[in-house]
Amino acid sequence: MGTESLGFIGLGVMGHSMCSHLLENGHKIHVFNRTMAKAQDLILHGAVAEECPAAIARNCSIVFTMLGYPQDVEEVYFGKEGLLSNPHEGQIFVDMTTTKPSLAIRIAEEAEKRDCFACDAPVSGGDSGAKNGTLSIMAGTDSKTFDTLLPYFRIMGKKITLEGKCGMGQHTKMANQIVIAGTMGGVCEALLYGKKAGLDMNKLLDTIKAGAAGCWTLDNLAPRIIKGDYSPGFFIDHFVKDMGIALEESRRMGLCLPTLALVQQLYIAMQGLDYGKLGTQALVLALDRMSNAGCFSK
């Protein structure tokens, strides 16, 4: 796997666990986060704190970023003290944030001008996938860069796929989020229906997830809903961002995706209720409130 120094920027719900796995596997890791308090346990276990993204670039051969929004990605890569402000030849930059395909392509183009390489590698699997190292990783890059990164991806994920050239990883993630949007709506409506009908919720869940309705959301998030756990494996605020990107790309391609648009509006309504920092499974609260059902509460 080599002895490269690795950089990791973005130590939130997902990034912290992903970085931790790399550190636990014996890699020298340089870290940066806007709130460096989130890096303290990693530093105690050997990670090196840096003062800005440019410092990460100076000291690392491969840099991973896991950020929140496209504007965060732009700042980290293109800001005054960003990763691309003064890179060295042959560096690889891997953005694992879910962001715009056009931004992934722009990063790749600018990296190429500097004799560097880029890969967009968004992930799916939520906080549990990040903690367990079982993420699905969707990579967009050239085959040589992918082969270089594959050993590191295997530390963080279970299903790793080269989707095509730069930008294709992000397009794949958009398709993933479109599926999740519809699935989350269906799961929450089913649980609300079952609760109102007086069903035993655990029996209901065990029954339907064993049949054609079985899915990741039923396995991982429905149990949290039943327990009243709305903590974020993935923030509503971030999901609204993702759905917005998917709708923007859909319009650009001349597509009409009404289910996605409806689910996004439901989640925007949740932001209006100040639920944006809850997990996506909290959609059941909005549906419950709309029905005045009194089945679920925060």
pLDDT, tens digit (0-9, with 9 covering 90-100), for 122-174? 999 999 999 999 999 999 999 999 999 999 999 999 999 999 999 999 999 99
* 17 plus 38 within the same structural domain: yes
How would you classify residue 82: left for phi > 0, otherwise alpha for psi between -120 and 50, otherwise beta?
beta
Residue 296 lies in a domain: no
* 77 plus 211 within the same structural domain: no
Name the residues annotated as catalytic.
173
pLDDT at 4: 76
pLDDT at 3: 55
Q: What's the CATH code of the domain at 257?
A: 1.10.1040.10
* 19 plus 143 within the same structural domain: yes
The segments of the chain whose pLDDT lies below 50 read: 1-2
pLDDT at 1: 39
Per-residue tokens: 89: 């030849």
Residue 150 lies in a domain: yes
| CA max distance for the chain | 64
* 16 plus 161 within the same structural domain: yes
Backbone angles phi, psi at 177, to 5 degrees: -70, -30
Residue 14 lies in a domain: yes
The Cβ of residue 163 has, within 10 Å, a number of other Cβ atoms equal to 21
Q: What's the CATH code of the domain at 22?
A: 3.40.50.720
What dihedral angle (degrees, nearest 10) is formed by the CA atoms of 269, 246, 166, 78? -40
Residue 192 lies in a domain: yes
Is residue 48 within 8 Å of 30, Cβ to Cβ? Answer: yes
* 153 plus 129 within the same structural domain: yes
pLDDT at 298: 80
* 153 plus 11 within the same structural domain: yes
* 146 plus 15 within the same structural domain: yes
Structural domain harbouring 272? 171-291
Q: Last residue of a domain, which of 166, 197, 221?
A: 166
Is residue 77 within 8 Å of 86, Cβ to Cβ? Answer: no
In 86-96, which positions are buried (b, 16+ CB within 10 angstroms) versus exposed (e)? ebeeebbbbbb
pLDDT at 169: 98
* 155 plus 186 within the same structural domain: no
